[in-house]
Chains A and B, each alone.
Chain A
Amino acid sequence: MAAQDLELVGLVVATGDRHAFGVLVERYQILVRAMLTRMTGNHALADDLAQDAFIKAYRKIGTFTGQGSFKSWLCRIAYTEFLQAARKRKSAEAAMERYKAHEEVETRETNWDTGDAMDLDRALAQLSEVERTVIVLCFSSGMSHPEAAAVTGLPLGTVKSHIMRGKAKMRALLEDKEAVKA
């Protein structure tokens, strides 16, 4: 039977067991990589940030108290990594320009089947940073509104407002796209 998250975390805290942490990485890598890919719109950058997030989680694992899920705790670290990467480029807007530039290069250089994922990423890029974050957490990572509030550190009401606004923008953008295709 697979070990539970808390058992693995206990093992890592007690002995620093790298293999136990590797099991957690295997278990949550898709969640974290998908979340960061949708937030940045770039696979390579998302994987770099995801790696940094897991290394930081290993260093800080002693601070995980077991209140709330390991998934939420890990996503909070990944979200902080994303914010720090954005702030390093002075502002989130400047960071998004860079991400878009990466995205264009990636699109040209790879044979990655884009289609709907590209439409989705383009629509997400039109949202504000916080709208994009809560939409990704709730619709990609499958979190509840309270979990998204815990990850972002925002009040629950604020999270709900951002989701409402984000969804309205996404609906307009995606339905415009469908109208053009039709």
Chain B
Amino acid sequence: MMTYDDGFDARLSAAFEKADAEITPDIRFTQRIESRLGSVMNPRTMVLGGAGASGSALAATQLENLADGVVFNNPILTQVFDMIGGQSIVAIVFALMAATFVYILPGRRA
């Protein structure tokens, strides 16, 4: 049996439905949010990226002979290489590779 309140509930629901029908899907709304997400780094990505980069750098320090045979013709590069040390450069390159991989992966469409 319909009560007075039941009747009012139905009228109120209908009034909300009518008012809310004026709010239509807006593709620009979604686009604005997706563009703002570009600057939001997922905390999980940051943690995994940091761990991956640190691990790669640590692993690279164990590859003692990897940079031994590297010779540069450019004197500036040779000086930088001697100053920093081949092993450190290899560690930095490995860490950057891991960090880049973690940065690019989330942006790829599934």
Residues on A facing B (Cβ under 8 Å)? 11, 13-22, 25-26, 29-30, 33-34, 37-38, 43, 47, 50-51, 54-55, 58-59, 62, 112-113, 116-117, 119-121, 135-136, 139-140, 167, 170-171, 174
Is the CB–CB distance between A139 and B34 below 8 Å? Answer: no
- How far, in angstroms, from A59 to B36 measured CA to CA in the complex? 12
Q: Which residue of A lies closest to B29 (CB)?
A: A29
The distance from the CB of B69 to the nearest CB of chain A, in whole angstroms, is 38
- Contact A21 B37, CB 8 Å, known A139-B12, A139-B13: yes
Instruction: Say whether B68 faces chain A, with CB atoms less than 8 Å apart.
Output: no
- Enumerate B1-59 residues with CB–CB distance to A below 8 Å: 5, 8-9, 12-13, 15-16, 18-20, 22-26, 29-30, 32-34, 36-38, 40-45
- How far, in angstroms, from A96 to B20 measured CA to CA in the complex? 20
Residues on B facing A (Cβ under 8 Å)? 5, 8-9, 12-13, 15-16, 18-20, 22-26, 29-30, 32-34, 36-38, 40-45, 105-110
5 interchain residue pairs of minimum CB distance: A16-B106, A16-B42, A117-B19, A34-B20, A140-B16
Q: Which residues of B contact A19 (CB under 8 A)?
A: 34, 109-110
- Contact A58 B37, CB 8 Å, known A16-B42, A120-B16: yes
